[in-house]
Chains A and B, each alone.
Chain A
Amino acid sequence: MDNIIEVSDVTFEYTDNDNVSTVLKNLSLSVERGSFTVILGHNGSGKSTLAKLMSGLLKPDSGTVTVDGITTADEQNEIEVHRRVGMVFQNPDNQIVATIVEEDVAFGPENLGLPPNVIRERVDSALKTVDMYDYRLHAPHKLSGGQKQRVAIAGIIAMEPECIVFDEPTSMLDPKGRREVMDTIYRLNKEKNITIVLITHYMEEVEKADRVVVMDSGEILLDGKPSDVFSQVEKIKEIGLDVPQTTELLYLLKQNGYELPDGVIATGDCVSELLALLRRENCGNTEC
């Protein structure tokens, strides 16, 4: 299997004022090239720390992280790691550097020292990909949250990374902005074949993922296909996380004795399961 990111046996601790707190304990995780992985877990479970380790912002205390076979711990590899794995953060305001949209998008390619005409091409194409080309000459502070976040995404894709790690990119946005950003993320995965790692606490964003990883106190609790992970409703509820509303509905019905499958996430699937159930129930009671 071809993995873009390999996190193997990583331990990470924060030290401030002699206080050592171990955030990740012997954690291993590999991300397959071209895949869409969602990471769930409640606040403080170490998701952001893991994201920063994957994008080379933090270096592991023990164990190794490799990106495309390159070890992130080596200072010399810094630029090579960053150009392969981009990262988009929670607060859209705090990632925009320049006073004009297109100059902000150009920031990454400019740092890579590419020729001006190549930078121009990449900036235009990145802005078109996130559907912000018409705003290229605008001032970032006048844009909506969703628009700013799309500019931030354009700034990353202009560096043509293999993988983008999103750390709760929609948690500060209104529903409209959230939809715009999620649509963009799906598109990057499907059309540009960029590997996506998405940290979120919105369950509806899990639906289209290939894989879900649930973290709890610095360890991986569950890892698998969304339907497999959400089959284990008790285990997820135990650590205080929610499951998608559709899964929850079918789970509750099942608890009450109805025969239904586990781990249904998509609304359409949920509806057809319920219809099938109603049909079965009707057949049981009356002649049909």
Chain B
Amino acid sequence: MIKDITFGQYFPAKSIIHRLDPRIKLVLSLMFIIFIFVAQNAVSLAFIGTLTLLFVLISRVPVSLFLKNIKAILFVIILTSVLNALYVTTGNVLLEFWIIKITADGVKRALFMSARIIILIISSSLLTYTTTPTELTDAIERLLKPLRFIGLGEAVHVMAMMITIALRFIPTLIEETDKIMSAQKARGADLESGTLFERIKALIPILVPLLISSVRRAYDLAEAMECRCYNGGSGRQRMKQLKLAGRDYLSLAVLVVCMSAIIAFNIIF
């Protein structure tokens, strides 16, 4: 049951987007997201939306997965649309009653904002569907490496190490939670009924053993890491060296062209 929670959203497929250098992918995604906000008119936004759909098709990640993510925040989209529609009161009046006034400009604004949020969700999902959490962590650590010049090198390494260990242990802890829950249920613990307070109280016999075993694990892991000569980030070498390939430069070039187009559309229309 609880095991079904999949961690991260990686969808394995063979596409050029999957194979891009994670550093490039992260930087490009951030730039892309900024440009969703730079796009100031319908033409620019339509252009950036078309690009997003194109990238989705190239990635070979099923479209239904993206729809699932959009559905998850449907409420936010509707709320934003309604607020925007109410807020903008210029232009042709389409509907007016009591203190509510809906105008053509308001509807345009609402559609524009919704499209923006949907494109934002799709493009950020595209990053997490095509990049493993490990690759992302690695990319962040390497991208932040220059921070060592202001004395933050070790901090960056420690943060990346912590994320890696968390990613490594989340499935293990989920499995353990499942086991403890079954054990407590076998002893007659009732986790599904009762008032909220009773249900929270019923969680204590699950959380306490979990906490104790996590502390135990942390001690063990620290000893195992020490045995393997772990001494922080300094002097550490990596087996996998990231190296930019032709496709990385190509994607960078494509993005620069697209961004110039968006700026041009912003000015022209």
A97 to B171, CA, bound (A): 13
Query: Would B239 and A94 count as touching, CB distance under 8 A?
Result: no
Provide the residues of chain A in CB contact with B226, threshold 8 Å.
57, 82
Query: Would B220 and A111 count as touching, CB distance under 8 A?
Result: no
Query: Would A106 and B239 count as touching, CB distance under 8 A?
Result: yes
B227 within 8 A of A: yes
A68 to B9, CA, bound (A): 48
Query: Would A141 and B172 count as touching, CB distance under 8 A?
Result: yes
Provide the residues of chain B in CB contact with A78, threshold 8 Å.
231
CB distance from A89 to the nearest CB of B (A): 6
- Residue in chain A with minimal CB distance to B234: A113
A120 to B165, CA, bound (A): 22
A128 to B235, CA, bound (A): 27
A120 to B239, CA, bound (A): 6
A153 to B167, CA, bound (A): 21
Query: Would A100 and B229 count as touching, CB distance under 8 A?
Result: no
B158 within 8 A of A: no
A50 within 8 A of B: no
Q: Given A57-B227, A97-B168, A111-B231, does the pair A91, B220 have CB atoms closer than 8 Å?
A: yes
Question: Which residue among A89, A106, A114, A141 has the maximum number of chain B CB atoms within 10 Å of its CB?
Answer: A141
Majority secondary structure of chain A interface residues (helix, strand, loop or mixed): helix
Provide the residues of chain A in CB contact with B237, threshold 8 Å.
109-110, 112-116, 119
A252 within 8 A of B: no
Provide the residues of chain B in CB contact with A112, threshold 8 Å.
229, 237
B224 within 8 A of A: yes
A139 to B35, CA, bound (A): 36
Binary flags per residue of B213-228, CB closer than 8 Å to A gives 1, else 0: 0001100110111111
User: Which one of B167, B217, B223, B231 contacts A57 once the chains associate, using CB atoms below 8 Å?
Assistant: B223
Query: Would A93 and B236 count as touching, CB distance under 8 A?
Result: no
CB distance from B225 to the nearest CB of A (A): 6
Query: Would A94 and B221 count as touching, CB distance under 8 A?
Result: yes
- Residue in chain A with minimal CB distance to B218: A94
Interface size for B (C-beta < 8 A) is 30
CB distance from A169 to the nearest CB of B (A): 12
Provide the residues of chain A in CB contact with B231, threshold 8 Å.
78-79, 111
Q: Given A82-B228, A98-B164, A156-B228, does the pair A103, B220 have CB atoms closer than 8 Å?
A: no
A177 within 8 A of B: no
- Residue in chain A with minimal CB distance to B134: A99
User: Which one of B175, B225, B235 contacts A97 once the chains associate, using CB atoms below 8 Å?
Assistant: B225
Provide the residues of chain B in CB contact with A96, threshold 8 Å.
168
* Residues 230-269 of B contacting A (Cβ, < 8 Å): 230-231, 235-241
Query: Would A119 and B239 count as touching, CB distance under 8 A?
Result: yes
Provide the residues of chain A in CB contact with B238, threshold 8 Å.
106, 110, 116
* Residues 151-166 of B contacting A (Cβ, < 8 Å): 164-165
Question: Which residue among B134, B228, B230 has the maximum number of chain A CB atoms within 10 Å of its CB?
Answer: B228
User: Which one of B171, B175, B220 contacts A95 once the chains associate, using CB atoms below 8 Å?
Assistant: B220
CB distance from B167 to the nearest CB of A (A): 5
CB distance from A19 to the nearest CB of B (A): 19
A78 to B225, CA, bound (A): 13
Provide the residues of chain A in CB contact with B175, threshold 8 Å.
141
Question: Which residue among B167, B225, B227 has the maximum number of chain A CB atoms within 10 Å of its CB?
Answer: B227
Query: Would A123 and B239 count as touching, CB distance under 8 A?
Result: yes
Query: Would A89 and B236 count as touching, CB distance under 8 A?
Result: no
Provide the residues of chain B in CB contact with A52, threshold 8 Å.
223
Provide the residues of chain A in CB contact with B133, threshold 8 Å.
99
Binary flags per residue of A38-58, CB closer than 8 Å to B gives 1, else 0: 000000000000001001010
Provide the residues of chain B in CB contact with A83, threshold 8 Å.
229
A86 within 8 A of B: yes
* Residues 112-134 of A contacting B (Cβ, < 8 Å): 112-116, 119-120, 123
A155 within 8 A of B: yes
Binary flags per residue of A120-164, CB closer than 8 Å to B gives 1, else 0: 100100000000000000011100000000001001100100000
Q: Given A86-B227, A110-B236, A115-B237, does the pair A100, B164 have CB atoms closer than 8 Å?
A: no
Provide the residues of chain A in CB contact with B167, threshold 8 Å.
99
Provide the residues of chain B in CB contact with A65, threshold 8 Å.
none
- Residue in chain B with minimal CB distance to A158: B228
Question: Which residue among A110, A139, A159 has the maximum number of chain B CB atoms within 10 Å of its CB?
Answer: A110
Query: Would A116 and B171 count as touching, CB distance under 8 A?
Result: no
Provide the residues of chain A in CB contact with B221, threshold 8 Å.
94-95, 97
Pairs A-B, 10 closest by C-beta atoms: A94-B220, A95-B224, A108-B228, A106-B239, A141-B171, A119-B239, A111-B229, A87-B227, A113-B235, A113-B237
Given A87-B224, A94-B221, A97-B165, 4 new contacts (CB under 8 A): A103-B134, A113-B236, A116-B239, A139-B171
Return 25 A-B CB contacts under 8 Å, by A number: A55-B227, A57-B227, A79-B229, A82-B228, A83-B229, A87-B224, A94-B221, A96-B168, A97-B168, A97-B228, A98-B134, A99-B134, A103-B240, A107-B225, A108-B229, A110-B237, A110-B238, A110-B239, A111-B231, A111-B235, A116-B239, A123-B239, A141-B168, A141-B172, A159-B228
